[in-house]
Structure 1
Amino acid sequence: MSVVTPQFIRTQIKGMPALPDFSTAAHRIQSDTEAIAIAQHLAHDFKQEAVVRDRERRLPVAEMVRFSTSGLGAITVPSSHGGAGVSWATLAEVIRIISVVDPAIGQIPQNHFGILNVLEQTGSESQKIFFYNAVLGGARLGNAGPERTTKNVLDVGTRITKISGNDNNYLLNGKRFYSTGALFADWIPTKALDESGRSVFVFVARQSPGLSIVDDWSGFGQRTTASGTVIFDQVRVSAQCVVPLEKIVDQANNTGPVSQLIQAAIDVGIARAALEDTVTFLHQKRCTPDDSSLALDTSDPFIVSDIGSLFIRLHAAEALLERAAITLDQMVSPINFEQMAEASVNVAEAKVLTTEIALDASEKLFELVGLETTSAKYNLDRHWRNARVHTLHDPVRWKYFSVGNYYLNEIAPPRHAWS
């Protein structure tokens, strides 16, 4: 276990810390096409040591620097603020491409993009300008996730209180877990309740005194996401870094469906990786069961049929993922609750299939290819471990219920980040 200690940075804008000088570091992506091309290029490079990173739990620090400096971290910044403003379909494709080669790297920026989406709908213009410029320069947003001591993930024990006699500064206290992205981030946003019990998003600079990021993530899958603990101990926060969430709570929005879309893109990436490895190993394998007279497993009708079934389900999952993303892209602002419900249901349908094919493809690999693939040198069990751990975020049994309740009873899914 390691704790990341704070570092000091300069003051630049009144009430806000200075930005590191990213001016020569981050590329500025101009279009959806360029974003996908860069993702494909990075995926090729990230694949080279993906197996080793998982086996040795080697955190992808250098890879995340490349992700940010490539400009991918800023692709959802609106064009009105200097970004590419890519479609949700493009974001899902970028995450899918990266997740095929390393789903941990695909997962690390999921909160980064979710937070940018929240900021776009709730932040003041000055907050948008500041944080969009930071991200365009290469800054990463992490996340201080749910709390272990509350009843469920929607309960918030973290508190922000005004400093006596100073309306422009607060103290933040709380302990969060499942903080994917925080260890790699320049800013760690977290949900908290203010003194009136209102929900707010607090942006905490990585270098803030009283902030500790503990690398205590020990999940058997998604091992290099470093989704551990974040502790806020009397952390001083400027009022400019506090974003009220009334609009997310009371008004229709796309934050839940967007969050789930990214999750589904990661899972379908895992599924495709497992299937691609299955095909590769079947072509390399030369032994067959004793009761088969076939020379190669690629001629075995049972194996061929299973491969066909898996690819059909993979393609169906990918198609539903694309359909869900297009639904989000076609939503007309201001979003109404009918649009929000439709988007949530479409994403839920995709999430069900991406979950199931990720689990089935990663498990079926061993049955189809055989005992040799269980050798530690191949580390093929990472596909199943990653699928099993990542798909636990949002139980699909509730997705089935939400979809059925929508079509049968015309009842919209719940409105939160897991729906």
Structure 2
Amino acid sequence: MNAPVTRPAARRIAGDAEAIETAIVLAAQFAPGAAQRDRDRILPWAEVEAFSASGLWAITVPRSFDGPALSNVTLARVIALIAAADGSLGQIPQNHFAVLEALRLHGTPDQQDFFFRRVLAGDRMGNATAEPGDKRPKDHATSLHRTAGRLRLQGRKLYSTGALFAHWVPVSATDEAGAHVTVFVPRGAPGLTIVDDWSSFGQRTTASGTVIIEDVAVEPLWVLRRAQAGAPVDTGNAVSQLVHTAIDLGIARAAIDDTLHFFRVLAHPARGSGVAMPTDDPLALREIGALTLQYHAAEALVERAGRLVDAAQASTAPTDAAAALIAVVEAKIVTTEIALAATNKLFELAGTQSTLLEHGLDRHWRNARTHTLHDGVRWKYHALGEFVLNGRLCDPWTLGHPYTPTLG
């Protein structure tokens, strides 16, 4: 599974409007084959190449490194558009953007110059973060150690979304001092094995399989040292989670669009409704109205979260970063709920025709159910209440750090 990946020269996107228009064009290209890719588990190699070559994977690179530094509002809109076309494609670059934010926050000047320029040229970042047992970063068994004067990396990861398609695989590890680090491993490095063993019933083509790291030689430039737990909050987790909200929002949009299409074209009036056309069914109209309202509320909260992340990135105040993270928590709650509601209501409203295998509409529910498990929403309610009532932030990097809550 370690065949080399290609890297077409990437375009340079100049502004927010160009990024949105590019995402709209790509989404129209990706959508027609999404059901078949899901049904037959065809990994989207060509689509990933087109996606990154479009320049969209570089839109958050800072201007100081010749990047466009587009807003997080735009980032979320781009991801939502792609996820509406294909939920798996929307998720594949999630960790890529999280890593770019980590580099912006914690990278040395040399690291930033090297990796940001590689991304502008078309390089993709993968993901090798999670470990069996869902360990926290400080408890990771994956280790970075020095042998005969050379840094070496050893470990095993799972849920490695994007690694199979990546040029660099960022690996979470613990160094000899017990500090958490992220190690950027080149895709073809000896000792790095990426196993395509992802067998979930949803998000089937993210290739979120296993990464095995066996005595991989590491250059010092590839080791990113983050602030440790207990440090003031920053925007790293907010950007990462914002992308997740956009994925769920896109999946919900796809389900609602398919509901409307099938309801207009193939559905039958409900028995007992007394109407000749299903579009005149008052109970169905109520349900569609409720879904639309819930979707627009989720969309607005994602945009608000993006604006607050933008503001926090331009600020040095930890309170602004805390407010951004809580805004993303709110968005994550409502995008989870609309993704599950819309993908479930699709079948109730569109009727029996919508369950036929040839349409592949079950992928929306499977995708939503799988992706929303990424970060349990029940704890998002807890985090929101803890912040608002007690001023404590339940961020994994700043657990229990006190902040004065603001509800702006």
User: TM-score interval w.r.t. the shorter chain?
Assistant: over 0.9
Distance 1:226 1:249, change over 3 A: farther
1:43 corresponds in structure 2 to 27
Shift of 1:372: 1.7
| RMSD (CA atoms) | 1.9
Opposite residue 60 of structure 2, the aligned amino acid is T
Tell me if 1:365 matches 2:349.
Answer: no
**What TM-score comes out, normalization by structure 2 length?**
0.94
TM-score (norm 1): 0.92
- CA deviations over 1:333-392 (Å, ceiling 9, x no partner): 553332222111111111100000000110011111112211111111100000000000
Unaligned runs of 5+ in 2: 401-408
How far apart in 2 are the matches of 1:162 and 1:294? 75
* Paired amino acid for 2:132: R
Equivalent residue for 1:160, pick from 129, 138, 144: 144
1:354 maps to what in 2? Answer: 335
Look up the SS of the partner of 1:392 in the other structure: helix
SS of the aligned residue for 2:190 comes to coil
Deviations 1:28-60 (Å, cap 9, x if unpaired)? 111111111111111110112111111111111
1:163 CA drift (Å):
2.4
Q: Which moved more, 1:149-158 or 1:300-309?
A: 149-158
CA distance in 1, matches of 2:67, 2:314: 19
Map 1:375-390; keep pairs closer than 5 Å. Answer: 375-390=356-371
Contact 1:75 1:84 in 2 (8 A): yes
- How many residues align? The count is 400
Between the aligned residues of both structures, percent identity stands at: 47
- Structure 2 partner of 1:118: 102
What does residue 62 of structure 2 align with? 78
Query: Closer, same or farther in 2 for the Cα pair 1:99/1:52, shift >3 Å?
Result: same
Q: How does 1:192-203 map to 2 (within 5 A)?
A: 192-203=173-184
1:160-208 Cα distance to aligned partner (Å, 9 max, x none): 11122x2xx3110000000000000000011111111111110000010
2:405 is aligned to: none
AA partner of residue 112 (structure 1): H
In 2, the alpha carbon distance for the partners of 1:199 and 1:215 equals 26
Contact 1:200–1:245 (CA under 8 A) maintained in structure 2: yes
Identify unmatched segments of 5+ residues in structure 1.
8-19
8 Å contact from structure 1 (residues 6, 212) kept in 2: no
SS at match of 2:99: helix
Q: Which amino acid aligns with 2:359?
A: Y
Q: In structure 1, the residue corresponding to 2:205 is in which secondary structure?
A: helix
Between the aligned partners of 2:33 and 2:194, the Cα distance in structure 1 is 26
The question of 1:190 aligning with 2:171 is answered yes
Q: 1:256 touches 1:417 (CA, 8 Å); kept in 2? A: no
Match of 2:71 among 87, 95, 102: 87
What SS does the aligned partner of 2:393 have?
Answer: coil
User: Does residue 276 of structure 1 match 2:275?
Assistant: no
Letter of the 1:221 counterpart: G
Paired residue for 1:53?
A: 37
**What one-letter code is carried by the residue in structure 2 that aligns with 1:279?**
L
1:171 is aligned to 2:155: no
Alignment of 1:141-152 (within 5 A): 141-149=125-133, 151=135
Structure 1 residues 210, 6: closer, same or farther in 2, change over 3 A?
farther
Match status 1:258 vs 2:215: no
Aligned to 2:222: 241
The verdict on how the C-alpha distance between 1:199 and 1:281 changes in structure 2, with shifts beyond 3 A counting, is same
Is the CA contact (8 Å cut-off) linking 2:2 and 2:188 kept in structure 1? Answer: no
One-letter amino acid of the counterpart of residue 271, structure 1: A
Structure 2: distance between partners of 1:242 and 1:173: 14
What is the aligned counterpart of 2:49 among 54, 65, 75?
Answer: 65
- For the 8 Å contact 1:26–1:70, the answer to whether it is kept is yes
Question: Alpha carbons of 1:157 and 1:78: their partners in 2 closer, same or farther (altered >3 Å)?
Answer: same
* Structure 2 equivalent of residue 97 of structure 1: 81
Alpha-carbon distance in structure 2 between the residues aligned to 1:52 and 1:341: 42
Aligned to 2:203: 222
**Within the alignment, does 1:292 sit opposite 2:276 as a pair?**
no
Aligned partners of 1:181, 1:66: CA distance in 2, in Å? 15
Letter in 1 for 2:95: N
1:185 alignment partner AA: A
2:126–2:163: 8 Å Cα contact kept in structure 1?
yes
Separation in 2, partners of 1:60, 1:94: 18
Structure 2 equivalent of residue 306 of structure 1: 287
Q: Which residue of 1 aligns with 2:2?
A: 4
